[in-house]
Amino acid sequence: MDLSEEKRRLLFSALATLAGLLLFLKLLSRRPSKRIRSPPTVKAWPPLIGGLVRFVRGPVPMIREEYRRLGSVFTVGLVNRRVTFLIGPEVSANFFKAPEAEMSQQEVYQFNVPTFGPGVVFDVDYSVRQEQFRFFTEALRVNKLRSYVDQMVVEAEDYFSKWGESGEVDLKYELEHLIILTASRCLLGREVRDKLFDDVSALFHDLDNGMLPISVIFPYLPIPAHRRRDKARKKLSQIFSDIISSRKLSGRTEDDMLQSFIESKYKDGRPTTEGEITGLLIAALFAGQHTSSITSTWTGAYLLRDQQYLSDAVEEQKLLMKKHGDKIDHDILAEMDTLYRCIKEALRLHPPLIMLLRSSHNDFTVKNREGVEYDIPKGDIIATSPAFANRLPHIYKEPDRYDPDRFAPGREEDKAAGQFSYISFGGGRHGCLGEPFAYLQIKAIWSHLLRNFEFELISPFPETDWNAMVVGVKGNVMVRFKRRKLLID
């Protein structure tokens, strides 16, 4: 074999090796990347309105199905809008932490404007809304909360003093009525509580029933519930206008949120108007009354079903009574860690707001637990669901089980997966300002009940009522009670 033939063989071998290498590199380049340009889109039939139909029938069942099928990031078409869901703490940081310029509440919560009224909250630009949120913050400072607690305790003592020595009641009905009384005293003022309670309560009922899943998409749809809502809003505006004018003319002041709003001023020195005060009060009561009444009912239902946790809560009351006597005030309520965990667990399982929404003004990227990245385009509505995210099994052990001890020192399951693992009160830039008020109100009620009554749940354990945007308790929660004074060992 001559040299030229040997060279040809070597050249052929080199070319074959190079071809193999190029083929390998080409195949390697075809391996799936962990980056996906856009989230999977939920296919709905009929097109355009299929997603809307599923949403109106029940957002949580839809989320449950698509999460199981598509994972923690997916997009649903609602008529002419895209809604991208971010489920779980691994993908929801942008939702909670992005500034308003990038992730806005205003556009998506326009459906609240007919309820709250013009010129407040989501009907004003961000700078004005921030000042109005400052008014809420000032009205809920600790020194204010201390006086509110005193009023809560008085209302609870007065309300339950009207019960007999024993009997049967619908716990849901009783707690709803007590909490609207308490909220009226603390938030709306003595005038409403003492003279106009029945009228205002009925009007708020119509406002409440005017907030339906369809209202999110079509807030001005001419349906009976919306017409009653608008009529109630107009009557409430007149009632509060009269009260505000009377206080200003008389120079009389009260220790309530209404007075705080009357005295509030914007940075430029402008005082709040009667319309703004009315809208802010409606927003405060709409948020606070729902959370407290629904959560206090769920807390009671779980405690009466799961006697272990009821016993723990009662023992805590005994220890506090040994330490402080029969007294209940702001600082004593703050010591009730066991009762706090019982309430928090009820809220984990049944957050009243099942969906939180934002409007995206920027493109952004999220990465799921598996490391897959998704590009979320500017213009999408971004959504997350406390009702679903609070039950993720990779965060909470036996997530459908009521277990207040999951929040106890040493376990703290809500912190194990990082920030935004527990979102019953939202989080980040737009966390609920009324969270301390809600816990104090529910603690004040249940500490009184645990100290003065024995209970037995006599109806089936309640189901969730998914028929409204603020999700509550379905049907009656019937209990048998017997009056007794808690004895200290």
Q: Residues marked as binding for heme?
A: 432
- The overall longest dimension of the chain from CA atoms, in Å, is 120
Inter-residue contact 466 to 387 (CB < 8 Å): no
Neighbours of 188 (CB within 10 A): 26
Residue 172: closest CA among 465, 466, 467, 489: 465
Inter-residue contact 345 to 402 (CB < 8 Å): yes
Phi/psi region, residue 265 (left: phi>0; alpha: psi -120 to 50; beta: rest), is beta
Residue 477: closest CA among 322, 350, 334: 350
3-state secondary structure of 344: helix
Please give the Cα distance from 356 to 60 (Å, whole number): 12
- What are φ and ψ of residue 357, in 5° steps? -130, 150
- What are φ and ψ of residue 134, in 5° steps? -65, -35
Instruction: Quote the crossing angle between the two packed helices 274-305 and 126-139, to the nearest 10°.
Output: 60
Please give the Cα distance from 184 to 293 (Å, whole number): 13
Inter-residue contact 458 to 151 (CB < 8 Å): no
Please give the Cα distance from 127 to 108 (Å, whole number): 17
Which one-letter amino acid corresponds to residue 90? E
Between strands 81-86 and 463-465, the pairing is unpaired
Output the CA–CA distances (angstroms, integers) from residue 289 to 143, 271, 366, 437, 440, in the order listed: 21, 27, 35, 10, 13
Q: Binding site: which residues?
A: 432
Q: Which residues contact 263 (CB under 8 A, 6 or more apart)?
A: none
Structure tokens at 235: 């009557």
